[in-house]
């Protein structure tokens, strides 16, 4: 028998897993790591989950004592999806497990984009680096995570097997609660959906590592120039402009002029 979802697909109505009807087992089990986190950081993460377009999840807040989070517990106390645990527990009976450091906020379509990323790549774990957070966000295939936890170290296992992938948290709408949300392209109209392409990079690939190293060096160079300009401004020394800048360069000799020309040419090519 042809399923109703197949008939809907024939009409152009495509349903992702996050759009399906809820079952006894939620699609995503969210683990909020709240050890030593301030109450406001925990509240900010929970608030972002409540405003997510996908609501088929259960939440375990781990490591937050009742004394440190009284207002948050009272706030979500009537919502049966939220549970408070002193230590990490085995994965819940969900399809995916999302681990979020307290203080990490998800965007309206983050959960949908995250599930797309792990399904399209076939990875066991997709990690996202979030600016302002020391720990990464992680989406796991729950069945694989449970099996690896029973036999050893899950993180080492996926890294060795090559089934771990990395993605920029900003591309998924993840951000620190004390920082502004990343700018994402949004389609106009009542749907208000993100027009989003998720790029997942393999950290084990040499080309990817070189690309990241070049980007890091470029960022370090920009930071150094910005710091130099800040010190000049604090000292009341204005940078040379126009003819004065050309004259200062000529005074340093031909080698300096040639070096600057080569640097500018490289920047032009890279851009």
The per-residue pLDDT for range 56-77, each reduced to its tens digit, is 999 999 999 999 999 999 999 9
Residue 201 is given by DSSP the state B
- The pLDDT assigned to 140 comes to 96
- Kindly report, residue by residue over 131-141, the tens digit of the pLDDT: 999 999 999 99
Cβ atoms of residues 171 and 201 within 8 Å:
no
> Is residue 171's pLDDT more than 80?
yes
- Cα separation, 173 vs 130, in Å, equals 10
Residue 82, beta-bridge partner list: 59
Predicted confidence band at 226 (pLDDT cuts at 50, 70, 90)?
confident
Pairing of strands 28-33, 96-101: parallel
The DSSP secondary structure of 13-30, one letter per residue, reads ----GGGSPP-SS-SEEE
Measure Cα distances from 44 to 52, 66, 105, 175, 217 in Å.
13, 17, 7, 11, 33
Cβ neighbourhood burial of 153 (10 Å; 0-12, 13-18, 19+): exposed
Read off the pLDDT of residues 178-189 as tens digits, 9 standing for 90 and up: 999 887 654 444
CA 263 to chain centroid, in Å, comes to: 33
Residue 78: pLDDT over 80? yes
Q: What percent of the chain has pLDDT over 70?
A: 81
pLDDT score for 97: 96
Share of the chain above pLDDT 90, in %: 45
Calculate mean pLDDT across residues 90-108.
Answer: 92
Contacts for 113 with CB less than 8 Å, ≥ 6 apart = 171, 172, 173, 194, 196, 198
For residues 263 and 261, what is the distance between their CA atoms, to the nearest angstrom? Answer: 5
């Amino acid at each position: 028998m042809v399923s109703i979802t197949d008939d809907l697909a024939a009409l152009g109505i495509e349903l992702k897993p996050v759009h399906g009807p809820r079952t006894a087992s939620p699609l995503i089990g969210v683990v909020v790591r709240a050890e030593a986190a301030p109450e406001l950081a925990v509240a900010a993460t929970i608030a972002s989950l409540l405003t997510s377009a996908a609501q088929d999840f259960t939440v375990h807040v781990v490591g937050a004592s009742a004394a440190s989070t009284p207002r948050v517990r009272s706030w979500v106390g009537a919502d049966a999806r939220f549970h408070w645990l002193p230590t990490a527990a085995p994965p819940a009976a969900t399809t995916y497990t999302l681990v979020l450091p307290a203080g990490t906020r998800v965007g309206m379509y983050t959960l949908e984009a995250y599930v797309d990323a792990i399904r399209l790549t076939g990875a066991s774990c997709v990690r996202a680096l979030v600016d302002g957070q020391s720990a990464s966000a992680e989406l796991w295939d729950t069945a694989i995570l449970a099996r690896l936890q029973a036999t050893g170290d899950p993180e080492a296992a996926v890294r060795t097997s090559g089934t771990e992938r990395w993605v920029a948290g900003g591309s998924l709408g993840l951000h620190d609660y004390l920082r502004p949300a990343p700018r994402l392209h949004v389609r106009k109209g009542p749907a208000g959906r993100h027009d989003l392409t998720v790029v997942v990079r393999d950290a084990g690939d040499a080309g990817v590592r070189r690309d990241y190293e070049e980007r890091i060096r470029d960022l370090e160079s920009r930071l150094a120039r910005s710091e130099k300009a800040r010190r000049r401004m604090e000292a009341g020394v204005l940078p040379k402009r126009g003819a004065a800048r050309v004259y200062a360069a000529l005074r340093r000799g031909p080698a300096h002029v040639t070096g600057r020309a080569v640097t500018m040419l490289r920047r032009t090519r890279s851009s």
